[in-house]
């Protein structure tokens, strides 16, 4: 056709090649433009009108744009090298470039799909998958490394296995350079698969002075916001090698434990007179089990009173696994500890502290009714009073 237009025969090969290359590039650009301006917006509109949420996440604009890029690269790879067939060197360069671009597009598409799949799991599953960020990052790095190896093999015109074998000699150096990343990946996988840590968990790590909420479980770092609003980052492998406490079980159970004790002065423990016992028998906490006929010890009645008080406390969690008891511990040089043990209905910090303070205030005030005294170390005023 170009010859019929009067072009010199010596220039026909050049102009044929230019025309074929131009048509190849133009068609590829046209396909990309049609995909990004017509097809992708149409798909997005259809997706928004469905009743499902998973398609909105998987068929997101960045992923669809990468699909359009991949279609463009495939077209160029199929047409551009052949259009340069009269120029062997240029055809080889175009073929290598298209192969490299194809690998890059495939790697980009896989990484976008991994991100979309992670977001889908994060939005539609339980809180456990929100700690899969480290695994997501590991997969993205693995796919990227494989893509780089394939690109190097294309440029070097060698088999990818040969490149991998050559990298084996540098494995020691790579392990030293990426030691934290490798250990972080392994630790992150273990923390996730064993469901040991999730974003939002309250954890305490005494060895590192950490006491706060987990913000992010990453590949090489776990980010924790302490209750003083400071941000602490700690390697995941340190959480496995060191002991840490996760309070998620307390939060999920809906009950938070109160375990406090008061130390009763042993010299104040005595038998109560019958008049005082008769007064107590008229109160709601008195039970037939206390009618033993023997003299009544004030500490015994005090424990019975506290047991009834805790049992009727409106803020107490009455679940089957929520133990409630008043116990007497072994005597100490300071006296006899009386320990209370129960769970509240709330796990929030401020209401929990208010309930605990209210219960302890009541105990402090009720001790005197039974003729008991709480042990308190002598202060300077006590010593001054004795000196007078």
Q: What is the pLDDT along the chain (388 residues), one digit of tens a residue?
A: 655 655 555 566 676 778 888 888 888 899 889 988 888 888 888 888 777 777 777 788 888 888 888 888 998 888 888 888 778 888 888 888 888 999 999 999 999 898 888 888 777 655 444 456 667 777 888 888 888 888 888 888 877 777 766 666 666 666 676 676 677 777 777 777 777 888 888 999 888 889 999 998 876 788 999 999 999 988 888 888 888 889 888 888 889 999 999 999 999 999 999 899 999 999 999 988 888 777 899 999 999 999 999 999 999 999 888 999 999 999 999 999 999 999 999 989 899 999 999 999 999 999 999 999 999 888 777 777 777 6
Put simply, whether the predicted model's pTM sits higher than 0.85 gets the answer no
Beta-carbon contacts of 160 under 8 Å, excluding residues fewer than 6 positions away, are 149, 150, 153
Burial bucket for residue 90 (CB in 10 Å: 0-12, 13-18, 19+): middle
Dist CA 288 CA 284 (whole Å): 11
Dist CA 132 CA 194 (whole Å): 12
Q: Please name the CATH architecture into which domain 191-247 falls.
A: Roll (2.30)
Domain ranges of the chain: 9-184, 191-247, 254-370
> Nearest CA to 241 among 210, 203, 207, 209?
207
Q: What is the 3-state secondary structure (H, E, C) of 306-323?
A: HHHHHHCCCCECCCCCCC
Distance of CA 288 to the CA centre of its chain: 53
Output phi, psi for 63, to 5 deg: -70, -45
Distance of CA 79 to the CA centre of its chain: 48
**DSSP SS3 for 235:** coil
């Amino acid at each position: 056709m170009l010859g019929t237009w009067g072009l010199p025969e010596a220039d026909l090969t050049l102009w044929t090649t230019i025309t074929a290359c131009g048509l190849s590039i133009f068609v590829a650009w046209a396909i990309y433009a049609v995909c990004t301006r017509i097809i992708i917006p149409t798909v997005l509109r259809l997706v928004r009108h469905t009743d499902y949420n998973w398609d909105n996440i998987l068929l997101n604009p960045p992923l669809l744009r990468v699909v359009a890029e991949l279609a463009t690269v495939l077209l160029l790879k199929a047409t551009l090298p052949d259009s340069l067939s009269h120029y062997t060197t240029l055809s080889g360069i175009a073929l290598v470039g298209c192969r490299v671009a194809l690998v890059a597009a495939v790697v980009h598409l896989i990484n976008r799909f991994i991100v979309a799949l992670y977001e889908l799991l994060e939005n539609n599953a339980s809180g456990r998958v929100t700690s899969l960020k480290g695994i997501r990052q590991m997969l993205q790095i693995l796919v990227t490394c494989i893509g780089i190896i394939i690109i190097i093999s294309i440029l070097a015109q060698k088999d990818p296995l040969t490149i991998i074998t050559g990298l084996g000699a540098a494995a020691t150096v790579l392990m030293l350079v990426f030691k934290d990343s490798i250990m972080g990946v392994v630790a992150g996988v273990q923390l996730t698969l064993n469901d040991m840590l999730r974003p939002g968990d309250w954890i305490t790590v005494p060895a590192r002075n950490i006491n706060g909420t987990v913000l992010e479980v990453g590949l090489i770092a776990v980010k924790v916001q302490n209750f003083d609003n400071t941000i602490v980052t700690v390697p995941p492998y340190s959480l496995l090698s060191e002991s840490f406490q996760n309070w998620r079980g307390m939060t999920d159970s809906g009950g938070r434990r109160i375990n406090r004790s008061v130390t009763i002065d042993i010299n104040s423990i005595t038998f109560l007179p019958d008049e005082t016992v008769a007064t107590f028998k008229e109160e709601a906490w008195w039970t037939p089990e206390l009618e033993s006929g023997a003299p009544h010890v004030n500490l015994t009645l005090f424990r019975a009173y506290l047991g009834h008080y805790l049992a009727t406390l409106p803020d107490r969690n009455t679940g089957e696994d929520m133990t409630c008891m008043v116990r007497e511990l072994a005597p100490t040089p300071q006296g006899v500890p009386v320990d209370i043990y129960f769970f509240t209905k709330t796990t929030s910090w401020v209401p929990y502290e208010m309930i605990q303070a209210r219960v302890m205030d009541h105990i402090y005030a009720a001790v005197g009714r039974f003729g008991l005294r709480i042990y308190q170390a002598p202060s300077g005023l006590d010593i001054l009073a004795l000196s007078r």
